[in-house]
Every structure is written in C-alpha cells, then in structure tokens.
Amino acid sequence: MPDKSRVVLSLLLAALVAMSFTAPLANTQAAERKPLFVGAWPYQLPPRGHFNTFVTGALTWYIYHIMIQEPMALYFWANNSYYPWLATKWELTPDQQYFIVHLRKGVKWHNGDDFTAKDVACTFWALYLLNGPVWSMGFIDNVEIVDQYTVKFHIKHASPILYRYILREPIRPYSTYHKYCDLAKQLHDKGVPRTADEFKKAVAEFRNFRPKEYIGTGVLMWTGEITEAEVWLKKNPNHWKNALKFNWVKLINGETPQVTPHVLAKEVDYATHGFPPATEKQFIAEGIRIIRAPIYSGPCLYFNEKIWPLNDVRFRQAIAYAINRTENGYVSLLQSGKPLKYMSGMPDELAEIWLTKETLSKLNPYKYNPQKAAQLLEEIGLKKGSDGYWHYKNGSIVQFELSFPAEYADWSAAGENLAEQLNKFGIKIIPRAITFTQHPHEVWKGNFQLAIRHWGSGSNPHPYFHYRAVFIYWNKGSEGPGIAFPLVQETKCCGKVNITDLLLKSAEGFDEEKQKPYVNKLALIYNELLPGIQLWHRYGNNPALDGVRVTGWPPDSDPIYKNSIYGDNFVVYMLMTGYALRPTPQNMPAGQQPSQPSQPSKPSQPSTPSQPSKPTTPSKPSQPAGPNYALWGTVAVIIIIIIAAAWYLAKRGKKSE
Amino acid sequence: MSDTRAFLYKVYKNWFFRRSVRTLAIIYVAITLTFFIIRLMPGNPIEVFIANMMAATGMSYEDAKQLALAMFSINLDEPLWKQYLDYLYNLVQGNFGRSIAISPGTPVMQIIMEFLPWTLFSVSISLLVSFVLGVVFGIIAAYRRGGWFDRIMSAFAATVSAIPNYLIGILIIVFLGVQWKLWPIEYMRGAYSASVKPGFTLEFITDVFKHLLAPFITYVFSTFGGWMLSMKANTISTLGEDYVTVAKAKGLPESRITIYYVGKNAILPLFTSLAISLGFIFGGSVLIESIFVYRGVGSLLWASITSRDYTVMQGVFLIITISVVLANLFADMLYGLIDPRVKTLGGGE
C-alpha cells in the first residue's frame, strides 16, 4: 500500500475511534434517573470517608445527613418551633427531672427493621462515649428506655438548649452500633471515669469503628454509587411520610472552585458554597437565582487584649467607628455581606426576638464616623502626624498586624479591605493570611494582634451560643490566652459584671422569659465593651436553579428562608416535608406527569401558607437529549483538517523523494 | 584471601553497585529530610482535629483534646529522635504506619494503593502520548525548518509550555464544558461515573476513558511543547553531524537516516528527562487532579497536607522519592547501555 494511503487510512481510523468515543455523550444510565435533584457538598471517598456517622470524616454530607438518618424533630427558626418527625411528642415531667420523648410507630429502617426506643437510647449512649455536648455540657446524665416507643432523659442541668441537642440529633440504628452503645452504658453504670484506660480504649475503638452498612430511617437511601466527583442517593420508597418528590438525589463533591462550573453549566439545583462576588454576578447573568438566607454568623474583628491600646475600650470603639462595615461587607460578599444594625453580639434576627425595645434603643450602632473615631483616639493620647498616621506619645506609628484565614475567600477579602480602610484612617495595618487550619490556633495561643474569626452560631439558635463564641470560645483556654478578654469588668451600662455568671444564667432553666434579662444584659455589655467588632452578617449566596430539574422555589419573603443554611437547611427541610419544591415536567420519567403545584404539603407549624413560587428570572429549559450538533460539527472539521494535512504531507514527502 | 579482596574490590568498583549504593543513600537522606521538614510545618494533626471538633460539635478545647489523645495512636509529645527511630524501624519492616488524620487507623499503604493505580493510569498514558507526540512533531519541525508546520507548531509548543497546567485545565472546563458545551461537565469530574458499575465491561471502560479525556488533554498540552522543542533542537543539531552527511552521500533511504541516524541520536538526551518524568508519575499531578477532582496520589497528597496527616504525607513522599530515584538509576543504566561512554567517564569497571 502506498505511504500516502496508509497515512490517510490510519488517520481516518483514528478519527472514527474518536467519534465512537464521543457518542453517546450523555451517561444514559444517569439520564434515566428521574426525577432528580442535584445538590453539592464536599466529602471524602472511602476509606477516608466512612459510615461511622458519629465521628469526623463520615459520609454525612452535613446538611443532607438528616435525609438519611433523621432526627426526632425539625426546627423552624422563623417561629422558634419544633416540628415532630421521628418523635410524635415530647414533654418535661412536672418536677423537670425528666425529658420524655414519645416515638412514632411504624417507622422502618432501610433494612426493614422497626425503629424503636432502643435506637434512640443507643444514639445517645454512643454520644456519651464521645462526650458529645449534651453530656459534656451537663444537660443529661442518663437515658432510659420506658417502653418500645418511649425514651426518657434524666436532666442534670435544665436548659432550652437541651431540646435542640436531643430533638435534632440524627438517630442511628442500634443494629449497627449496639456493641459500642452497650459498652458505653456499661461504663456509665459502672461509673468508669473518662480518664481511665478502659474508657479511653473504648473511645479509640469506637472512633476507629467502620460500619459496613449505612442505614437510616430517612427519605434517602445509600446506593453505594460514589466517586470522587459525585454520589447518588435514592428515595426510600417505604418512608413513613413519603413526601419526597424526587426519586434520586445527586450530590456533587467539591469546594467552591470545583462546584462553580457545575452551577454555571446548570447541572446543580442548589448549592451552599460561599461563591465570590464575581462568580455570583456570573450566576445572575446566567439567570440563576441567588437565595440570601441568614447564616447567623459572620466575620468578627478580635483584639489581643494583652496589648495596649487594644485593651482600651475607647480604642476598640474608635476602630468600630473607623470601619465602613457596609463597604467591607459589599466588597467581600456583595449583598450577602450585610452590616448589622445593632452590634449586639447576636445576629439582628435574634436580637429582635430576645431583646426588649428599651435595650435595642440603647445599643450603639457604631455607624461609620471617622471624626468620632479620631476623637476617641485623641482621648487615649494618640496623635495624628503629618504623615497621615496615628502616633503614640513616643512618636512611633500605631501599627498592627491583622491575620485572617487565607482560604476563606470572603474573610480574606474582608481582611484586605479592613486593612485598606484602617490604613486610610491612619492606623497602619499589615494584613497577613494564614492557612485556615493553623489560624485558630494562632488566636487561641494569643499569637496575634488583630484577627478575623467568627461571631455567632449557625447551628444553634439560642443566644447563649452566640455570646459563648465571643466570650468563651476565642477567650482564655488550655491552648493559651486567646483574646484575653477579662470576664469580670466594670461597665457603664451595668456596673461590675461577671460575664461567666451571666452567660450561664442566660441558658438556665426552661423558661426563656426568665433568661431574657440576662441576654439583654449581655447584649448591652457586648455593645459597650466590644470584645470583637461584628464586621457583617454573612448571608448565603446560594444559587438555586429554577425550571431545569426543579421548580417551585418559594419567594424570598417565605419564612422558611429564616432557617439557618448550615443548621437547619431550608432546602433539605423542603425536600423532606414535600413543601414547595417539585420536579419540572422534563425531569419526570417518560409517561409520568409532575405533581401539581397547587397545595404544597407544608408542615403546619412554621409559617403561613405562601404563594406558589414565581421564578424571578425565567431560565432556559434543559437541553433535550439528542445529537450535539456543535460537537459533531467540530469533529467533522477536525477530520477534514487531518485528512488535508495528511494528504499535503504525503504529497510533500513524495516530491522530496 | 587475596581473591576475596580482589572480588570485593571488583564489586566496589562495579558501576552498577556504586550507583545502587548511592541510590540507597539518596533515598535515606530524602526520607530523613521529609520526616523532619514535615514536622516543621505549622500545626499538627491533633491541633487540626481539635479545631474541627470544636467547630463541628461545640466541644470545649479540653474535651476535644481528650478525644484526640484517645483517638490518635501517635504521641507527638514524644522526643523527635524517638519518633524518627520508630519511623525508620517500622519502615525497614515495610510498615508505612497508619493514617492519623484523614482516615485514622487505616494503613497508609492501603490508602496509597487505592489511589496509585488511577494516577499511574492517567499520568503514564498522558506522559507517553505527550512524549511520542513531542518527539514526532519535533523531528518533523526540524526537517521542515522554516516551513509553515515548523512555524505554527513551534509557536504553539512555546505558548502551551508557558501556560501553567492548572490554567489549561480551567480553560478546558470553562470553554469545552461550560461555554461551548462540547464535553459534558460530568466527564470532567472524577475517574468514572458513580452510576456506572465498576467492572470489566465496555460501559465502564468507555466511561473511564471519557473521564480521562480532560485531564489527559491538559497534561499533554502542558508537557508536549517541552518535548517537541527539545527534540527539534536535538534533531537540528544532529542533522549537521558528519555521519548524517555521509549517510546521505551513500544514498541511504531518507526514512532510514531519519530513524537510525538522526532520531536515535537526537532522542538520547531526552531519555533522562523522560526517566525523571516517569518517576514523578507516582506523585501524580496535584493541580490537575484537584481541578478535575480526579482520583490520584496528587489529590491524596493535598488532602494529607491540609489535614497534617504526617504518616500519609511521609508515605506519599517516600513513594515519590523511591520512584524518582529508581527512575534515575534506570535512566543511568539504560544510558550506560545505549552509550558506553557514560560508564567509562563515570569511572566504571
């Protein structure tokens, strides 16, 4: 065969192989899985990811965990109420010694076993082994099975926080964890201390326990279909409520950079990642709706109170006045970085529930006021020089290092902007990004001057947790002095205060009305002393894709969006309860009609019925399955080019011979 | 006795023996440096674990620390020299240790073996294709010096070589996947689809190759330029050698001159680079694997670094060190066989 023909033939063959490689484009098996909901959450593959959902590294997908292993109740932030789920009701005994939970009958585990009180008790005994907060914070000291469907918890320390720790805990099966929960109960009954070798050995064994099966009572079931890119979960057909309207849920693995292209390609229906402002703008341009729900937390500027003048309240107040927090929030996260109205140490949403009108009116909002800031700095003896910087009495420039976690894009942006603003104001700030795993330790050890760490709590609605974050979490601990903020102080608002006592009293007993005075006092103290400056409240910028696979997104005013994104995710709740969200017609299996949008089966407690959703921006329907003409055209052009090149080369070769 | 001495002297002077001893010494030094440098990094797995537990569960620092000490079978408070000796002792016995952070308790070798085959598969195919393409295109460009092929391909090779591989990967995702939708995003993520059952089936194999395409293109694009430009330069230099002129004068066929006289000599210097690259196959490509969420040693290494999993980091670095050093040894030996001058100059037998 002549050389030229051989070349052309082999190239044609290669082109044919390439063409067969590209067709069919879509994964046919996956394309048949309808109705499908696609979310995103980072996870680790086995063996790194595992099924021991009590310990870190488990394949829980965090907000989606309760769709597999359900809690006894769901919590709605809008009206501070619990909605019965695996429990039908709960009560305190009149003497407030016991918290009794009555369980739902007829619930089955994914393997067909009955769900009973044994499973609930087992879950809490396993938590005992790990010293979970419900035990370590001293809320309970025993769990007893009353009958097959009743469990009672012995209360050691009464607090409304107890409700959340018990009712919102995902319940795991006794069949999987029986060895360890039985062991935990034995250790408890024998009074073995946690420091004993026997106890430590049990803990170590339990943490290394890797169950072979992954079952729950939830609306979703484990399929075993997992790769580093995605995981598939399927609907539990025997679920007691059977409200999930999607037969499949696919979760895309990865952090923001990995998930972004999927969102842009409209392959994700909902994601909770923190997207940078430029990406968010691109989403909006593509017609993807952005849901801005509160996270009840955000970045806070902390001061090392071992350093003068950072330990002078006037200096901290001056800094609060010198920062334009609206600008800081906007450059960091656009509309999702919202400045706070009250600077109460809590998110505004909770402040308005827990604080009296009188307290709210007393709170200094620290509106941007550089003149006021300058006045306060002069009061403490600093002077502004002709170079534009503030100087100490000895003439040296007032200069600090500001550290923040490097990998948190929004916090890094906040740190850079903060440095820029304060430099402009005359306080020299050197920004320093530290890797996110190391940064908290630097703060705890006191190896910082100014640092950005979190305020608030996205996982617990009680004010106790919000004040604990500032006064306790980042303060003195075993690792070091932390922010070194004194917890006994003289204040203008409230005289001499013991913050530790106030904090404990703010969560004591079951009567929230009795806790409110302490919470109000803490808010006033926080506002005056400013142990940290709440830079802004981080709202989510969650992309929600309407009209491709999912529709029915409620309008922004729906109270369901008051739920914390990471604490009680509203999309997860909507999927579980069957409220609002439903598949689009093109997301239904062939021959099936989508469910009617008329009456969403919404849980009765949380909010008034909302209007059927109105998509804010009409989005294009997904591409129907069919030939991809652009691809085939490109392939054809490539083939023509290859043939032409081969022909030319062969011709040139012959000539030269 | 003198025979034994003579034998020992012969062994000592043996080129392969000396290279092997030097290789072992390099591996030992690399292991030692890795051990200490890892521990110089700020933070340790216990601190990372404590921070995670406090953030995730609201535990106090003391409780989280108690938990960490109970959980991790490593005592970082032990003197460093003791930790080092323990590590060497276990290593000599083939024990890489157990993961202390990313999958506590799992043997490091088991974790590495989960990821290594995928890295070997993806990077070796890409490297070989890139090398072959670079060599072929380099020879063609050298032969057609100044022609359109040379001009276009040389410019292209210089351009793609200058673009970092992660940028090429991102561009592929953005343009081929998101903008033009020429290749589904789902095939640009992972090593295979979760919905396809792994097995020796056509469906699975096709799926694996579809997932390989994007990282493959990225890798080939980012490396083939280097091979091509080197090969072109070597070929041009060889074309001017007297033996090539003589061969032409003798009227030997052009194809024979190209392959046996020019190609064989021009490719020789590329072997060392190829051998080193082959060694680095075992390390995967951290950036490409993380951009395409591709299963591999590179992504494992990144995960172990962020969680400060000392044992896994040591294991991965050890594998990379051994493979690179052995690849170099192999290259030296191969080079010695191909070009006997190397052995003589190196003070060989």
Q: Is A273 helix (H, G, I), strand (E, B) or coil?
A: coil
Contact (CB<8Å) A252/B189: yes
CB contact under 8 A, B102 and A232: no
Which of A44, A228, A254 is closest, CB to CB, to B191? A228
Q: Which residues of A touch B293 (CB under 8 A)?
A: 228-229, 253-254, 258
| A651 inside domain | yes
Candidate from A44, A203, A457 with C-beta closest to B70: A203
Q: For residue A435, give the chain B residue with the closest CA.
A: B306
Highest mean pLDDT among A392-401, A619-628, B52-61, B70-79: A392-401
Look at residue B73 in the predicted model and tell me its pLDDT: 56
Peptide bond into A583 cis (omega under 30): no
Is the residue at A123 inside a domain?
yes
Q: Phi and psi dihedrals of A401, rounded to 5?
A: -100, 135
* Average pLDDT score over residue span A309-319: 96
Check the CA dihedral A28-A29-A32-A35 and report its sign: negative
- The predicted pLDDT at position A396 comes to 94
Per-residue pLDDT, A613:
35
Query: Can you give the CATH number for the domain in which A310 is found?
Result: 3.10.105.10
Residues A340 and A469 in one domain: yes
Nearest to A208 among B47, B57, B105 (CB): B105
Give the number of beta-carbon pairs within 8 Å between A and B.
171
- For residue B52, list chain A residues with Cβ-Cβ distance below 8 A: 56
Per-residue buried b or exposed e for A106-144, using 16+ beta carbons within 10 Å of the residue's own CB: ebebbeeeebbbbbbbbbbbbbbbbbbbbbbbebbeebe
Which residues from B are below 8 Å from A229, CB to CB? Answer: 186, 189-191, 193-194, 293
Chain A positions in Cβ-Cβ contact with residue B299 (cut-off 8 Å)? 228
Residue A119 DSSP SS3: helix
Kindly state the percentage of chain B with pLDDT values over 90.
10
Nearest Cα to A54, choosing from A223, A222, A206, A200? A206
Q: Which of A538, A566, A592 is a domain's end point?
A: A538
Same domain membership, residue A114 and residue A20? no
- How much is the average pLDDT of A532-542? 94
CA A558 to chain centre: 20
Q: How far is A168 from chain B (nearest CA, A)?
A: 13
- Decide if A82 is inside a domain: no
Phi/psi of residue A264, each to 5°? -65, -35
Note whether B47 contacts A441, CB cutoff 8 Å.
yes
Task: Report the residue of chain B nearest A464, measured CA to CA.
Answer: B58
pLDDT, mean of residues A427-432:
95
Alpha-carbon torsion angle B329, B330, B333, B336, nearest 10 = -100
Which member of A45, A225, A262 has the closest CB to residue B195? A225
Write down the H helix ranges in A580-628.
none
Each residue's pLDDT tens digit, B215-271? 999 999 888 899 999 999 999 888 888 888 888 888 888 888 887 788 888 888 887
Average pLDDT over residues B160-166: 87
Q: What is the 3-state secondary structure (H, E, C) of A326-394?
A: HHHHHHHHHHHEECCCCCCCCCHHHHHHHCCHHHHHHCCCCCCCHHHHHHHHHHCCCEECCCCCEECCC
SS3 (DSSP) at A533: strand
Is the CB of B194 less than 8 angstroms away from the CB of A226?
A: yes
Interface contact B43-A57, CB threshold 8 A? no
Residue A511 lies in a domain: yes
User: Are the Cβ atoms of B66 and A131 closer than 8 angstroms?
Assistant: yes
CB A83 within 8 A of CB A91: no
Determine the pLDDT at residue A102.
98
Residues A186 and A313 grouped into a single domain: no
pLDDT at B57: 56
- Whether residue A624 has pLDDT greater than 90: no
Best B49, B71, B181 member to test A by mutation, with max A CBs in 10 Å, is B71
pLDDT band at A599 (very low <50, low <70, confident <90, very high): very low
By Cβ distance, the residue of B57, B102, B104 closest to A44 is B102
* pLDDT above 90: percentage of residues in chain A: 66
**Whether A265 contacts A38, CB under 8 Å:** no
Which residues from chain A sit within 8 angstroms of residue B188, using beta carbons? 261
Residues of A in Cβ contact (< 8 Å) with B43:
435, 437-438, 441
Structure confidence at residue A30 (pLDDT): 66
Chain B closest-CA separation from residue A249 CA (Å): 12
In angstroms, what is the C-alpha Rg of chain B?
Answer: 25
Specify which of A277-291, A433-447, B287-301 reaches the highest per-range mean pLDDT.
A277-291
Q: Are A27 and B173 within 8 A, CB to CB?
A: no
Residues of B in contact with A631 (CB under 8 A): 182-183
A198 and A343 in a single domain? The answer is no
For residues A522 and A645, membership in a common domain is answered with no
- Interface contact B63-A254, CB threshold 8 A: no
Chain B residues close to A50, C-beta within 8 Å: 103
Weakest mean pLDDT among A63-77, A562-576, B5-19, B238-252:
B5-19
Tell me if B293 and A229 make a contact (CB, 8 A cut-off): yes
Q: Which of A126-130, A492-496, B328-332 has the lowest mean pLDDT?
A: B328-332
Of all residues in chain B, the one with the smallest CA distance to A227 is B194
Q: Which of A194, A213, A232 is the last residue of a domain?
A: A213
The DSSP H or E segment spanning B328 is: helix B310-338
Question: Model pTM?
Answer: 0.79
Over residues A155-198, the pLDDT tens digits come to: 998 888 899 999 999 999 999 999 999 999 999 999 999 888 89
Q: Among A168, A190, A213, which residue terminates a domain?
A: A213
Specify the range with the lowest mean pLDDT, choosing from A406-410, A439-443, A454-458, A546-550. A406-410
Contacts of B210 in chain A (CB under 8 A): 21
Domain co-membership, A511 together with A642: no
pLDDT at A243: 96
**How is B145-211 classified by DSSP, letter by letter?**
TTSHHHHHHHHHHHHHHHS-HHHHHHHIIIIIIIIS-SS-GGGGSSSS-TTSPPSSSHHHHHHHHHH
Residue of A nearest to B49 (CA): A56
For residues A126-151, give the mean pLDDT. Answer: 93
Which residues of chain B neighbour A136 with C-beta distances below 8 Å? 59-60, 63
Q: Distance from CA of residue A149 to its chain's centroid?
A: 32
pLDDT in tens, A461-486: 899 999 998 998 898 776 789 999 99
CA-nearest residue to A138 within chain B is B59
The reply to whether A568 falls in a domain is no
Q: Mind telling me how many Å the CA of A610 is from chain B's nearest CA?
A: 33
Rama region for B251: left / alpha / beta (φ>0; ψ in -120 to 50; rest): left
Q: Answer for the pair A538, A563: CB distance below 8 angstroms, yes or no.
A: no
Is residue A368 domain-shared with residue A477, that is, in the same domain?
yes
Q: Determine the residue among B122, B176, B189 to mutate to test chain A binding: the one whose Cβ has the most chain A Cβ atoms within 10 Å.
A: B189
Mean pLDDT over B147-173 rounds to 89
Q: Where is pLDDT greater, at B3 or A183?
A: A183
Measure in Å the smallest separation between the Cα of B238 and chain A Cα atoms: 20
Q: CA–CA distance from B8 to each of B18, B21, B159, B346 (Å)?
A: 12, 14, 54, 19
User: Are both A91 and A11 inside the same structural domain?
Assistant: no
Compute the distance between CA of residue B15 and CA of residue B332 in angstroms, rounded to an integer.
10
Nearest chain B Cα distance for residue A133, angstroms: 6
How far does B280 lie from chain A, in Å, by closest CA? 22
**Cβ within 8 Å, pair A265-B65:** no
Range among A81-85, A650-654, B5-9 with highest mean pLDDT value: A81-85
* Non-local CB neighbours of B33 within 8 Å, separated by 6+ positions: none
In the predicted model, is pLDDT for residue A612 greater than 50?
A: no
Select the residue from A228, A255, A455, A622 to test the B interface by mutation, using most B Cβ atoms within 10 A.
Answer: A228
Average model confidence (pLDDT) for chain A?
A: 87
* Partners of residue A657 in chain B, C-beta under 8 Å: 254
Chain segment A213-249, per-residue pLDDT in tens: 999 999 999 999 998 889 999 999 999 999 999 999 9
Gap from B36 CA to chain A (nearest CA, Å): 19
Partner-chain contact A230 B254, CB within 8 Å: no
Tell me: do A359 and A460 sit in the same domain: yes
Question: Chain-wide mean pLDDT for chain B?
Answer: 82
Paired strand residues for A140: A155
Q: Are A381 and A529 within one domain?
A: yes
Q: What is the least distance, in Å, from the CA of A280 to any CA of chain B?
A: 15
What is the average per-residue pLDDT within B78-103? 81
Task: Quote the minimal CA–CA distance from B51 to chain A in Å.
Answer: 7
Query: For B254, which of A25, A232, A657 is closest by C-beta distance?
Result: A657
User: What's the pLDDT score for residue A594?
Assistant: 56
Tell me the residue range of the domain where A470 lies: 297-538
Comparing CB atoms, the residue among B48, B66, B206 nearest residue A437 is B48
- Give the pLDDT confidence score for residue A137 in this predicted structure: 84
User: Is A261 a domain residue?
Assistant: no
Residue B45 has pLDDT above 70, yes or no: yes
Residue A468 lies in a domain: yes
CATH at residue A153: 3.90.76.10
Query: Which residues in chain B have their CB less than 8 angstroms from residue A132's CB?
Result: 57
Note whether A503 and A647 are same-domain residues: no
Residue B307 and residue A437: Cβ atoms within 8 Å?
yes
Instruction: Give A-chain residues touching B291 at CB under 8 angstroms.
Output: 257-258
Residue contact B42–A438, C-beta within 8 A: yes
Judge whether A586 lies within some domain.
no
Burial class (CB within 10 angstroms; exposed 0-12, middle 13-18, buried 19+) of B242: exposed
Q: Is A301 in the same domain as A191?
A: no
Distance CA A347, CA A294 (A): 9
Q: Is the pLDDT confidence value at A22 over 60? A: no
ipTM above 0.85, yes or no: no
Judged against a pLDDT cut of 70, whether residue B309 lies above it is answered with yes
Number of domains in chain A: 3
Distance between alpha carbon B80 and the CA centroid of its chain, in Å?
A: 30
Which residue in the set B60, B184, B195 is minimally distant from A25, CB to CB? B184
Find the closest chain A residue to B202 by CA distance: A21
Q: Are A586 and A546 in contact (CB under 8 A)?
A: no
